[in-house]
A = this chain, B = another copy of it.
Amino acid sequence: MPRIAYFGPQGTFTEQAAIGFVHPGRDELVPYETVPQALAAVRRSEVDAACVPVENSVEGAVPATMDALAEGEPLVAVAETVLPVRFSVLVRPGTGVGAVRTVASHPHALAQVRYWLEENLPEASVVSTTSTAAAAVAVQRGEFDAAVSAPVAVNHYPLSEFATDVADVADAKTRFLYLRRPGTLPEPTGSDRTSMVVTTADRVGALSELLVELALRGISLTRIESRPTKGRLGEYRFYIDMLGHVAEPRVGDALAALHRHCRQVRFLGSYPQAEPTVSGEPVAASNEDFTAAADWVAAVRRGVGA
C-alpha cells in the first residue's frame, strides 16, 4: 500500500492538500511533525511521496520547505495543488453565538481572520495554539469554545461547523508540492511549471546572466526568491519557478546553459500547473523553432547547408 507523508498534524490544510494527491482507500497518509521530517521519510524510502506547503499568498514562501529541498538527497516534484485559504470555525455541537467566549487557532490563522472575528464574535477572546488542528482538539476537550481550522478538521473531530468559508483576504491561497525520489517525470501537458534552485558565484551580474538565458528562450518566470547560503558569505541561492517542462527543447536548452553558468543547479521537478497561467507566445522558441535550428546547424556542419 503506497504511503504518503505530509506535514501534519491531521486536520490541517496540508492534510487537505495531500488528500487531493492520493487514491482514497488505497494510499495511507502519514503525518510528520515538520517539513524536513516529512521529506527525510521520502529520502529514507519510509514513504513513497510527501506533500508539503511551498508558498502562501499572504505569508510568502515557506523557507523550511525551500531549504530542505535545496540540501540532502534530491527530491523531485511531480504535481502541485493550490488551496484557497478559507477556514471553518468549529464548535462543540449545540454551541450558540452567545456561548463563544474564547476562539483558538495558530497565530497565522488568527491573523487571517482578524476582521471576521471582530465583526462576528467581537466579545470572544483569542487564544493561540501550535496548529489549527491543536485548536480543534482543545475545543473538543472543552478548553476553548471555538477553533479556527482547516475545513478538513471537521472530519476528524466530533465538532460542528459554526461558520465556513471564513477569510479576511478573499483570494488568499497556499501552494503545495507532491514530491518523490527522482524517477520517471510526468509527461508534458502544454501547461507545466519547472522548479529549480540555483547557486551563483558571488559576482556582479551573475543573476542577470542567468535570467537573460531564460529570456532569450522565451521562458516566463513565475517566482524568484534569494536566500543567502549558510556558511558562505556573499553566496546566494535562488529559488526559481518558470513556465514550461524540461522535456521541451527551450527549457532543456536553458537548464543546460544554467548548468554551464552556475556553481550548482538542482532540478526540483516539471509538473502540470494547478492553475494554468496564460503566457505570451515565446518568440522563436517553439519546439519547431528549436528543431529547425538544430537541423540547420547539423546541415551546415555536414557541408549541405549554409
Which residues 195-242 of A sit at the B interface, judged by CB distance below 8 A?
202-205, 207-209, 211-212, 214-216, 218-221, 223-228, 230, 233-234, 238
Question: Which one of B128, B220, B225, B282 contacts A224 once the chains associate, using CB atoms below 8 Å?
Answer: B225
A280 within 8 A of B: yes
| Contact yes or no, B219 A212, CB < 8 A | no
Q: Residue on B with the closest CB to A57?
A: B228
Q: Copy number of this protein in the oligomer?
A: 2
User: Chain B residues with Cβ under 8 A from A216's Cβ?
Assistant: 205
Asked whether A59 is an interface residue with its Cβ less than 8 Å from the other chain, the reply is yes
Residues of B within 8 A of A110 (CB): 130
The interface bits of chain A over 104-132 (1 if a CB of B lies within 8 angstroms of the residue's CB, else 0) are: 00110010000000000000001011100
Q: Which residues of B are found within 8 Å of A57, using beta-carbon distances?
A: 228
Residue A291 is within 8 A (CB to CB) of chain B in the complex: no
Q: CA A234 – CA B220 in complex, angstroms? A: 10
| A61 close to chain B: CB less than 8 A | yes
A57–B211 Cα distance when bound, in Å, is 25
Min Cβ gap A107→B in Å is: 6
Closest 6 CB pairs of A and B: A205-B215, A208-B211, A60-B63, A208-B215, A128-B130, A208-B212
A interface residues with partner B (beta carbon < 8 Å): 57-61, 63, 106-107, 110, 126, 128-130, 171, 202-205, 207-209, 211-212, 214-216, 218-221, 223-228, 230, 233-234, 238, 277-280, 282-283
Flag if A207 contacts B203 (CB, 8 Å): no
Q: Report yes or no: A221 in contact with B215, Cβ–Cβ below 8 A.
A: no
**How far apart are the CA atoms of A82 and B4 in the complex, in Å?**
40
Task: Give CA–CA (A100, B219) in the complex, Å.
Answer: 56
Chain B residues, CB < 8 A from A59: 63
CB-contact partner of A204 in B130, B204, B205, B219, under 8 A: B219
Please report the C-alpha to C-alpha distance between residue A279 and residue B227 in the assembled complex, in whole angstroms: 17
- A277-B234 in contact (CB<8A): yes
CA A106 to CA B225, docked complex, whole Å: 26
Q: List 10 A-B contacts (CB under 8 A).
A: A57-B228, A60-B227, A106-B128, A110-B130, A204-B283, A205-B216, A207-B221, A208-B208, A208-B211, A224-B225
Query: Which residues of B are found within 8 Å of A202, using beta-carbon distances?
Result: 280
Within 8 Å CB of A208, what residues of B? 208, 211-212, 214-215
Q: Which residue of chain B is the closest to A217 with respect to CB atoms?
A: B204
Most buried by B among A63, A205, A224, A278: A205
Q: Is the CB of A207 within 8 A of B226?
A: no
Separation in Å of the A127 CB from the closest CB of chain B? 8
Task: Assess the B211–A221 pair: CB atoms within 8 A.
Answer: no
* Interchain CA distance A230-B169 in the complex, whole Å: 10
